[in-house]
Amino acid sequence: MGKTVLAADLGGTNLRMAVVNENGQIEHRERCSTPQANSAEAIVSAIADLAKLCSDAVGQTNIKVLGVAIPALMNLGEGKIDIAPNLPMLDGVALEAQLEKALGLAVVLENDATAAAIGEHWLGASRGFENSICVTLGTGVGGGIILNGLALRGPDGTAGEIGHICVEPDGHPCGCGSWGCVEQYASATAVVRLAEELISTCGSIIDASRPFNAKDVYDAAKNGDKAAIETFRRMGNYLGLALAGLVNTLNPEAIVIAGGMSAAWDMFIDAVRAQLKTRAFREPALRVKLFRAELADDAGILGVSSLALAMGDKRI
């Protein structure tokens, strides 16, 4: 019987876990709401509960490793969370050791965006490419980088934070403390703000007197609404500007666009391509391929399962 591991995606809202085999097939899934109490113990306990449900469901006792994808800056060497903006109860917590103690399993943590990059590299859109960037467009903008087949983490484990590349030097304030970050121009949140600005001057079929979301802007763009179309063009320009800098800096073979906003691909990708063509050097611009992510919500789980499967071997 092949090796099987547990892999979890710990989000601010949901905790999901799966049993994954060495071919990357998901054999069983469980999920629950992420405990909102200000207690790391509640998180550990929820993960332990799902792990038991998963193990019982597949009737296996040979699961020895759990991988966990977390939206956090982490010290991977110490298995410690530095800062988790959406899971503040974990700030400073030695989560790896706490989970190992509670579950009796070896545990490997990974930043969720890096985990998604690893997952897409293993089984998704960037498989077969040794140098790739995965940019996740959701409420924020996350990123993961694979160079020469290995995830780039850096000495602090913070590498890959491409959402906080500045694209507008006097731009919109960002939650990170800087301003003008690409996260403020290419996330779902940003699309709503950009649309609000355009609607107030140009008008739109979107009723801006009540709250609307990025999906509403996308639907309006599909119906030919000029303000909505221009919103995505601007969003694509800014995303392309940031990616062109990465193409010049890293010379990647593939860029994978993931996250909820990737559903609006047809509305922004032409602007991204135009920026890459005019702003990046010819050779790396011709080289790089743009892909929509293939693994959707499973990218992070599959990414950490690959790390968990490799435990004992070298870590990618």
- Tokens 């709503």 sit on residue: 192
Among 32, 73, 205, 316, indicate the residue that binds a copy of itself (CB under 8 A).
73
Query: Between the CA of residue 174 and those of 157, 167, 182, what are the distances in Å?
Result: 21, 12, 9
Determine the interface stretch with a copy of itself among 61-69, 151-159, 199-207, 266-274 (rule: CB under 8 A): 151-159
Determine the Cα angle at 250 with ends 244 and 239, to 5°. 25
> 286: how many CB neighbours lie within 10 A of its CB?
11
Please name which of 220, 218, 194 lies closest in space to residue 206, comparing C-alpha atoms: 220
Cβ-Cβ contacts under 8 Å for 147 (sequence gap 6 or more) = 130, 131, 250
Whole-angstrom distance, CA of residue 138 vs CA of residue 172: 17
Does residue 294 belong to the site contacting a copy of itself (CB under 8 A)? no
Q: How many residues does the chain have?
A: 316
Contact between 160 and a copy of itself per CB under 8 A: yes
Q: State yes or no: residue 153 binds a copy of itself (CB under 8 A).
A: yes
138 lies in the site for a copy of itself, by CB under 8 A: no
Min dist. Cβ of residue 236 to a copy of itself (A)? 13
Residue 20 tokens, joined: 């994954």
Of residues 30, 164, 227, 256, which one binds a copy of itself by CB under 8 A?
Answer: 164
Out of 245, 259, 300, 303, point to the residue binding a copy of itself (CB under 8 A). 245
Told to check if 253 binds a copy of itself by CB under 8 A, we report: yes
| Minimum CB distance to a copy of itself, residue 291 (Å) | 16
Torsion of CA 71, 73, 76, 79, to 10 degrees: -70
CB nearer to a copy of itself: give 172 or 279: 279
Minimum CB distance to a copy of itself smaller for 28 or for 153: 153
Cβ at position 239, least distance to a copy of itself in Å: 12
Residue 33: how many other CB atoms lie within 10 Å: 10
How many other CB atoms are found less than 10 A from the CB of residue 270?
14
Q: Does 249 bind a copy of itself (CB under 8 A)?
A: yes
| Candidate ranges 44-52, 62-70, 197-205, 240-248; the one touching a copy of itself (CB under 8 A) | 240-248
| Alpha carbon distance, N-terminus to C-terminus of the chain | 24
* Interaction between residue 140 and a copy of itself (CB under 8 A): no
Pairwise CA distance, residues 142 & 125, whole Å: 17
Distance between CA atoms of 37 and 90, rounded to whole angstroms? 11
Binding-residue pattern over the window 182 to 221 for a copy of itself, x denoting contact by CB under 8 A: ----------------------------------------
* Shortest separation between residue 249's beta carbon and a copy of itself, angstroms: 5
Binding site for a copy of itself (CB under 8 A): 73, 82-83, 130-131, 143, 145, 147, 152-162, 164-169, 176-178, 237-238, 241, 244-246, 248-253, 278-284, 287
